[in-house]
Structure 1
Amino acid sequence: MKIRQSLLLFTIAAILLVSCGGGQTNASAADATYAYLEALANKDKDTVVSLTCKDWEEQAMLEVDALMSVGAQLNNVSCSQVGEEGEDALVVCSGTLDLTYNDEIRAIELDKRTYTMTMEDGQWRVCSYK
């Protein structure tokens, strides 16, 4: 009986590990873009950099620094891949990044930007936007 219970627990643990494993590496380009925007709104520089390609890291840090003196919140954000450019994925997000300073809210409409996402080290990363 103990062997059967142990085997059952082992099987459940293995299923959970397989279903939860992978994390960000299995995320789509759109999911990675959303995670980048979320980290940006939270002013989480480490996460922003981890979601950025090496060529874009300096720009990403500047964006986080620019938000340090304002409140930032994502509002009704949804991202989807709209195309490809070579091996890169092109992603557009709807919704806004609302910036608050002295009780004044300025909304940045996210659908005005197309993010270029590059697969780097097995993970989609923001590499620029137009």
Structure 2
Amino acid sequence: MQKMKNAFFTLLAAALFLAACGGSGGSTAAQAVEEYYQAIVAQDAAKVDALVCPDFEEPAHVELDSFQGVKANLEGFSCKPAGMEGSLTLVTCEGKIVATYGSETMDFPLADRVHQVQNVDGVWTVCGSGT
């Protein structure tokens, strides 16, 4: 009986660990966009690459590079679906990126952007953004 309990808890711990690791892209379109911006402010290029469509890699890296050398964080940030455009889910966000360089702080509002997100084989990826 004790061996069965140990085996159960070992499997449970492994399942929780794997669930926490997760894959690339969020489980929803909005979560994929949230993870994208979290990767941008964390300066995590590998995560950004995993979260975007191949055609959006260059613009994503331009955005990533624009925050090099500054301390950036998200404030009042959340995203939600805003409709469909063909096979793309449109996502809008609230909040802003706050970037600090030395004693200077700049706000980059996110509310005016509409993100195009696509689900390919169960993985949500950011494929573009615009106003």
What TM-score comes out, normalization by structure 1 length? 0.85
User: Which of the pair is proportionally richer in helix?
Assistant: 1
Aligned ranges 1:49-68 → 2 under 5 Å: 49-68=49-68
Unaligned runs of 5+ in 1: none
* Aligned residues: CA RMSD: 2.0
After superposition, the C-alpha distances for 1:22-58 in whole angstroms (9 at most, x for unaligned) are: 8246611111111100000111111111111111011
Q: Which runs of 5+ in 2 are unaligned?
A: none
Residue identity matched to 2:96: T
Letter in structure 1 aligned against 2:49: V
User: Which SS does the other structure have where 1:27 is aligned?
Assistant: coil
The aligned residue for residue 9 of structure 1 is 6
Q: Taking every aligned residue pair, what percent have the same amino acid on both sides? A: 31
* Matching of residues 1-130 of structure 1 within 5 Å: 4-18=1-15, 20-21=18-19, 23-24=22-23, 27-130=27-130
**Partner Cα distance (1:121, 1:67) in 2:** 31
Question: Structure 2 CA distance, aligned partners of 1:114 and 1:90?
Answer: 6
> How many residue pairs were aligned?
127
Q: Which amino acid aligns with 1:39?
A: A
Partners of 1:53 and 1:120 within 8 A in 2: no
Q: Measure how far apart 1:8 and its partner are.
A: 2.3
Structure 2 distance, partners of 1:45, 1:112, is 24
Say if 1:85 and 1:13 are closer, same or farther in 2 by CA, change over 3 A: farther
Q: Give the CA deviation at 1:15.
A: 4.1
Asked if structure 2 preserves the Cα contact closer than 8 Å seen for 1:92 and 1:114, the reply is yes
